[in-house]
Structure 1
């Protein structure tokens, strides 16, 4: 049975190129396209593709947030995040939301197709070229500032714009404990608020971008 692939992408030429690439594969079938988050949700609900390729940048929603919504609604859906922003922070965000694969748009077509095939058979298993190197860079950056694993996790969640109660829920700790993590993080970065913390974290290479 062919892998039904839906393309979610803002740019027309990219959608066209991905559609042609999929159509050329004997084990794949093009299942439709969407250029926004709203269209994507309707498309997936009606066509029920095996895999979606998903751009990070969409006109009405952040692609990573859409990936989380799709994963919550469709646990077996393969989700391949395609991005022109090949930075570690986006990679880790994609992994945390439950995406199946992360591929830069500059990657060879063989890598894109490999990610789609992986997503079709292992939707809940994350794969990305350079994942081990990204982990090593994150650990080295945290070590330079002296952040604990929990403080690094707190920083990543702050960079996504989450509140202390939301951070506590995701980390499975009390709000008091989450506040302690945030306070220690600010102390180690030498800052007094979230905005300063994120700017300093970017400067030290602890995060690559801010959601």
Structure 2
């Protein structure tokens, strides 16, 4: 007898009612996902989150009033137990980096296969970081053609240095005085920027590029 998966509680944030309705039908069709709230913009989303306390927010980026990047930053600050999965039409590097820097832990595009959206919600609830292949390619292209805007931040450099040193997320969080969720967010952004898929590749990249050659004080 298999143990049923815990239900993932989801809030949808998108300014198009038709999109929200379609997503709600799609996600509610999964036996382990429940849509517990919807909002048409970032400001309304904060009120819905305060009432529902979801596990995952599926966040659009381009919305009137409070946009998705600003809303993501507020979700991360005010609801540390909630993960943000961006679902948008935009695949340009600037928006992707802005969303990941704000604290989103996943980035999917609206032309993704429906099953990929469902699995993306499950993945972020497990602490994973799904990124649409076209979005990842966009980041890689931008990094090659214009590396300066996509340089690692000081905090990302610190986290990557500790990954190179073999530390787990919990150890990194304790060392830097931040939450494990923040560590995961930094790693998601860093992996996308440097074009790697996992911690081993990131550690190799860090060694090749001299990240972590000097110990963090």
**Residue in 2 that maps onto 1:152:** 149
**Residue in 2 that maps onto 1:89:** 94
> TM-score, normalization: structure 1?
0.65
Could you say which structure has the larger radius of gyration?
1
Q: How many residues align?
A: 149
> TM-score, normalization: structure 2?
0.63
Which of the residues 11, 14, 30 maps onto 2:19?
14
CA contact (8 A) 1:3 1:120 kept: yes
**Residue in 2 that maps onto 1:39:** 44
Which of the residues 71, 88, 110 maps onto 1:105?
110
Aligned-residue offset at 1:134: 3.3
- CA distance 1:42–1:29, change in 2 (3 Å): same
CA-to-aligned-CA distance 1:78-135 (integer Å, 9 cap, x gap): 111111112222222221111021111111111111110111111xx53302255334
CA contact (8 A) 1:103 1:128 kept: yes
**Residue in 2 that maps onto 1:79:** 84
CA-to-aligned-CA distance 1:144-177 (integer Å, 9 cap, x gap): xxxxx5x4248x9xxxxxxxxxxxxx758xxxxx
> 4+ runs of 1 displaced by more than 2 Å?
129-136, 151-154
CA contact (8 A) 1:4 1:51 kept: yes
2: distance between equivalents of 1:11 and 1:136? Answer: 30
Structure 2: gaps (5+ residues): 1-5, 156-217
Which of the residues 135, 138, 144 maps onto 1:140?
144
